[in-house]
Chain A
């Protein structure tokens, strides 16, 4: 049943053009690959950094002097990790059949059209004038819509959901993501206070020694 690398790539390609069929194969016949999904997510993060810096000047309104590639990378990648984890935690409660790996594969695979149009945008924007920017934006928009469609289709397939339930699950995913964020911030604030407390106790101790 183990699929070869070539086969995995061919299923990645098929998932872009025939998402329902391909994600079915990935979910039930093991044609997907977690390392490939992780790789795609990492490339996506890097691509966002590249797009921040190398998008043509005419449509690039980013302050390049204030660029922080680690923060950009982390924002995008952790954003999707957050989505994956919270979707998983919601769908486990809502009878979703997909496991964490499936959600990761679907999410990463469905980024591919967006990534392709993003590469196009970065490249083409260096050769356009303001009046032509709309064309580039439209193409990127198509990529985003395509990606969204793939994501919705993939989640429907792996969780064995209907369309309506899938939407509800995604809405709840955002609620769950907010809760996770809140808890995360709370956790780090408390840890910080604890660490500071230990440090100050240590300082006090060594000063009195």
Chain B
């Protein structure tokens, strides 16, 4: 079976997808261990696709399949009604924020229940009290972040307008960050999503704030607003505003910068953010220290999710959350079509899969996504569950390939991408990946072949540059001789032309003189 799947199948229209889906199902049943299946024993198989260079959607096996669902059944009687954010720790715990029940729930990586609380306790398990003596209860929290470096949990206690910091091991209270006294701007301090970087700076997203991401110091003092989210300005607006008088302008609706909607940190400590505001110019951000967007978009498409719209009311993909691996590959969660888009650090679309619907594994209102090792954890606010998705053989190969490439392990990357290619011969990202690895090894000719297959012109050009340089070096003598011959030919023809024209001139002068002589006679 593996052998059959290993050889590249000839894909015909129509039957190709069925073959692949069937092959994938068989492969996943065969290769994945027994526990890597949904609790009812069946695996949900997503239909995946990517975009080729020409913007055509190319069928592809999905990179992930449903492993298990964590729902109210896993909670031992505790209600679950508004899953809003999900987060994972490095030791494999899954943290779920339930906005409607004002709770945070903790599970182990197999969905086993570990902890759940709305009342915050101290580190030694006593009921913690706030400064005014009241108990510390969560109130409609919207976000959670695990700060591995300091072993802390940050919970955005949105309803109480504060951030609660807990200990990662005991879930005991460490400190509370209230609204900073010197908070500038007009945004209300209603923290919704949080990220904390390696320097302990706290980045807070306030929904519908047009001032950017709120940046706090580690002690909770206001430090500034961060990140630029430029609005799109239509030409018509520009025209009308340019001819309007000041009084008219005052009555016109102002164009505000769109809000950031979710935030996370990548492996290098850059803040990555998404927005689903339709007026925003960019949808995905990788912010440098100046707050500018430095996201790489070197793939076939820009990092926008779906590139075609079905009709005029189709707004395109709207990303509610982003999850980044330490090797720069990130997953974007789209709420309009319930899809998950995976991009590598270069912005190449690796895979898109998922859909809205009522089947197990489909989404109603996806809210949050996080990586759990190489698995994905996705929460849904309406279905009130968390899906744990595990990579398929294809997904494993692609992820491994990108990880090895990112860390410079060319040989391992090559093997992984070849595996991916064996499972999907139409996969341009794998051709490109193989080509890049040959390029790194200075095997320019092979690299050129693979870049051509992967339709990657920029890298083909780089490989060709190396190839051409080598060719010129090898054939330096011939090239030089040809060049000298060419120069000699040009100079020679010039010289001959001059001689000829001089001869002609002399002849003409002779003729003229003889005529003159005749005339004088």
Contacts and interface: CB of A to CB of B under 8 A. Distances in A.
A58 B464 contact: yes
A204 interface: no
A57 interface: yes
A142 B54 CA distance: 29
A129 B465 contact: yes
B458 interface: yes
Interface string A116-134: 0000000000010111000
A63 B428 CA distance: 14
Interface in B440-455: 452
A108 B375 CA distance: 63
A59 to B, nearest CB: 8
A58 B451 CA distance: 10
Given A57-B457, A58-B457, A129 B464 contact: yes
Contacts, number: 21
A131 B465 CA distance: 10
Contacts of B452: 57
B460 interface: yes
B54 A130 contact: no
Interface string B45-60: 0000000011000000
Q: Name B's interface SS.
A: helix
A115 to B, nearest CB: 24
Interface in B288-305: none
Nearest to A131: B461
A58 B54 CA distance: 15
Given A57-B452, A63-B54, A130 B458 contact: yes
A130 B54 CA distance: 19
Given A57-B452, A63-B54, A130 B468 contact: no
B453 to A, nearest CB: 11
Nearest to A127: B468
Given A57-B452, A63-B54, A129 B462 contact: yes
A80 to B, nearest CB: 28
A59 B468 CA distance: 16
Listed residue (B53, B452, B458, B461) with the most chain A CB atoms within 10 angstroms of its CB: B461
Interface in A59-73: 59, 61, 63
Contacts of A57: 452, 457, 460
A130 B458 CA distance: 7
A64 to B, nearest CB: 11
A61 B290 CA distance: 36
A189 B493 CA distance: 61
Contacts of B54: 63
A61 B53 CA distance: 9
A152 to B, nearest CB: 32
A18 to B, nearest CB: 20
A127 B472 CA distance: 12
Contacts of B457: 57-59, 61, 130
A24 B461 CA distance: 47
Nearest to B466: A129
Contacts of A131: 461
Nearest to A133: B461
Contact of B461 (A58, A61, A63): A58
Interface in A122-170: 127, 129-131
Contacts of A129: 461-462, 464-465, 468
A58 B460 CA distance: 7
Contacts of B464: 58, 129
B5 to A, nearest CB: 25
A124 to B, nearest CB: 13
A49 to B, nearest CB: 19
Contacts of B468: 127, 129
Nearest to A63: B54
A58 B448 CA distance: 11
Contacts of B461: 58, 129-131
Nearest to A126: B464
Q: Which of the listed residues A59, A130, A131 has the most CB atoms from chain B within 10 Å of its own CB?
A: A130
A104 to B, nearest CB: 36
Contacts of B462: 129
B445 to A, nearest CB: 14
B251 to A, nearest CB: 42
A131 B53 CA distance: 20
Contacts of B460: 57-58
A196 B368 CA distance: 57
Contacts of A59: 457
A58 B467 CA distance: 14
Interface string B467-482: 0100000000000000
A127 B457 CA distance: 14
A63 B462 CA distance: 21
A58 B462 CA distance: 10
A127 B462 CA distance: 12
A6 B160 CA distance: 93
Nearest to B54: A63
A136 B265 CA distance: 43
- Name, among A57, A63, A127, the residue most crowded by chain B CB atoms within 10 Å (CB to CB): A57
A149 B480 CA distance: 38
Interface string B21-63: 0000000000000000000000000000000011000000000
Contacts of A130: 457-458, 461
A126 to B, nearest CB: 10
Nearest to B451: A57
Nearest to A56: B464
Contacts of B458: 130
A58 B465 CA distance: 11
A144 to B, nearest CB: 23
16 contacts: A57-B452, A57-B457, A57-B460, A58-B457, A58-B461, A59-B457, A63-B54, A127-B468, A129-B461, A129-B462, A129-B464, A129-B465, A129-B468, A130-B457, A130-B458, A130-B461
Interface of A: 57-59, 61, 63, 127, 129-131
Given A58-B457, A61-B53, A129-B465, 18 more contacts: A57-B452, A57-B457, A57-B460, A58-B460, A58-B461, A58-B464, A59-B457, A61-B457, A63-B54, A127-B468, A129-B461, A129-B462, A129-B464, A129-B468, A130-B457, A130-B458, A130-B461, A131-B461
Question: Top 9 A-B pairs ranked by shortest CB distance?
Answer: A130-B461, A129-B461, A129-B465, A58-B461, A63-B54, A58-B457, A129-B464, A57-B452, A57-B460
